[in-house]
Amino acid sequence: MRRLLTALIALAVQFAPPLHAAAPGVTENRIRIATIQDLSGPIAMLGAPIRDGIVMRLDEENERGGVHGRRLAIAVEDSGYDPKKAILATRRLLGSGEVFAFLGNLGTPVVMATMPLIVDAGLPHLFPFSPHQATYAPTHPLKYQLFAPYRDYMDAAVRYMLQEKGYRRVGLLYQDDDYGLEVMRGVEAGLASQGLELVERTGYKRGATDYASQIARLRAAGCDLVVLATVVRETVAAMREARKVGWAVDMLVTASGYSAQTHELGGEAVEGLYGVSVMPHPYADAAEGDLYDWIQRYRTRYDADPNVWSAMGYDVADTFIQGLRAAGRDLDAASFSAALGQLKTTPGFLGGPTYQFSPDDHLGNRRGRMARIVSGRWQLVSDYLD
């Protein structure tokens, strides 16, 4: 019995990686990073294309010989949107001593639970998909973010709609969670800038099926613009309900509803919908040049059309690579963070914005563009809004 015990402990010690590795994840010819995605939970629809976009960009870099002679490898973990699982996955990755940085982790509960562990271990926490401010403020040498909170985008978008289109009575349909709340604050800020307030607000729980009462309330309030803090499914359902009862009100959806699926599934009913675009959707039939090649490569590789989330994943990885290049061959968390803190990216063929960091501002971009569904596809109708 005791022999068995000793053997077990010996086994554990044998396989356990050393507690302190010299330069985690970076060797002579390789850099290992990690990402925690939701591939099986409620937002797997985002997680899968994000992962595909990231992995594709890293592999392309490897085909060109890597960054400063180092190939890039990524460990993908599935949290299923469960912070408990995410913490264990993070501990496992940290324990392996073979991770240089975490890139593009997905989901606010997951990000908020794992970010302290990652940063405490001295690893960069880069460009998570969470609208929470703590991902970049207060400024921390290891925390960087590409995407602004919904609040910033929606504030600007609502001001645009009021000033350019003359709407006066704005109502809000929002998902009853952190996302919906963020949007509400942004919409209220945009309205306040013109001395206005929301004339009606009405919520729904994730997974709701019927929006008749919400639409009826918004209609009774006499809205001339309805802001939708919804995701694709609810966007389609809300607009179909409004059109069904013959209410031709204009609607504006957040970047979460800016998806090709919105018009693919919504059809006629979502025609004319305004949206906020952070990255343009990569439409295959209108693409030319590099973008066309990229879409073809993506299709061949994953047997699916890329969407705006794939593009964002690709952009996240691209920005990471630009940071690595700037950091030079002599790579550790400090040199990387110093380089990233002065980085200004060159936008690629995907049509995303320029991301620019400074030593005391680690949020890469605050501006979105207005888009509108015209003849069954999203078209950009404004430049980047301030």
Partner 1 sequence: MIRGLAGLALFALAVAGGGWGHALAQVALVATWALAGLGLVLVVGQTGQLSLGHGAMLALGAYVQAGLVAAGLPALLALPVAAAAGAALGLLASLPGRRLGGLAFGMSTLAFALIVEELLVRLAPWTGGAAGQVVPAFTVGPWRLSSPVAQAALSVAVLTLAWLACRRLIGSALGRAWRASRDNEAAAMAIGVDVGAVRQAAFVAGGALGALAGALSAHWLGYLSPEQFGLGLSFELLMMVFVGGVRTPSGALLGGVVMVALPQLIAIARGALPVLGGGAAGLEVLLFGAVLVVIVLARPAGLAGDGR
Partner 2 sequence: MLAQVLLSGIATGCVYGLVALSFVLVFKATETVSFMQGELLMLGAFAAVLLVEGGGWPVWLALPAAVLVLFAIGALLEGGVLRRALGQPHLTAVLLTFGLGLMLRGGVTMVPAATHQMHRLELPLAGVLSLGPLQLAGEHLAVVLATALACASLAAFFRFTRAGVALRACSEDARVAALMGISPTRMHTLAWALGAALAGFAGVLLAPVTLVHPGMGLIALKAFPAAVIGGLSSLPGALAGGVLVGVFEALTGLYLPDGAKDLAVYGLMLAVLLLFPRGLGGRGAAA
List residues binding partner 1 (CB under 8 A).
1, 4-5, 8-9, 11-12, 14-17, 19, 39-40, 44, 47-48, 77-78, 80, 83-85, 87-89, 91-97, 108-109, 112-113, 116, 120, 134, 176-178, 180-182, 206
Q: Say whether 108 sits in a helix, a strand or coil.
A: helix
**Minimal distance in Å, beta carbon 200 to partner 2?**
10
**Minimal distance in Å, beta carbon 3 to partner 1?**
12
Residue 349 token pair = 């063929």
Task: Give 100 or 355: the residue with its C-beta nearer to partner 1.
Answer: 100
Q: Please give the C-alpha separations between residue 340 and each of 61, 214, 313, 343, 362, in angstroms, as whole numbers.
A: 18, 45, 18, 5, 9
102 C-beta neighbours (distance < 10 Å), count: 29
Please report, in angstroms and rounded to a whole number, the separation of the first and last CA atoms in the chain: 71
Task: Give 29 or 40: the residue with its C-beta nearer to partner 1.
Answer: 40
Task: Give 51 or 372: the residue with its C-beta nearer to partner 2.
Answer: 51
CB 372, CB 275: distance < 8 Å: yes
Task: Give 265 or 380: the residue with its C-beta nearer to partner 2.
Answer: 265
Task: Give 2 or 64: the residue with its C-beta nearer to partner 1.
Answer: 2
**Minimal distance in Å, beta carbon 128 to partner 1?**
13
Q: Which residues of the shown chain bind partner 2 in the complex (CB under 8 A)?
A: 39-40, 42, 44-45, 48-49, 176, 201-205, 207-210, 212-214, 216-217, 219-220, 232-233, 236-237, 240-241, 244-246, 261, 264-265, 304
Binding site partner of 287, from partner 1, partner 2, none, Cβ cut-off 5-8 A by kind: none
Residue 195 token pair = 């001395």
d(CA 97, CA 237): 47
CB 239, CB 338: distance < 8 Å: no
Task: Give 29 or 40: the residue with its C-beta nearer to partner 2.
Answer: 40
Residue 316 token pair = 């996240």
The arrangement of strands across the sheet holding 369-374 comes to 200-204, 170-175, 225-229, 250-253, 274-277, 369-374, 377-380
Binding site partner of 201, from partner 2, partner 1, none, Cβ cut-off 5-8 A by kind: partner 2
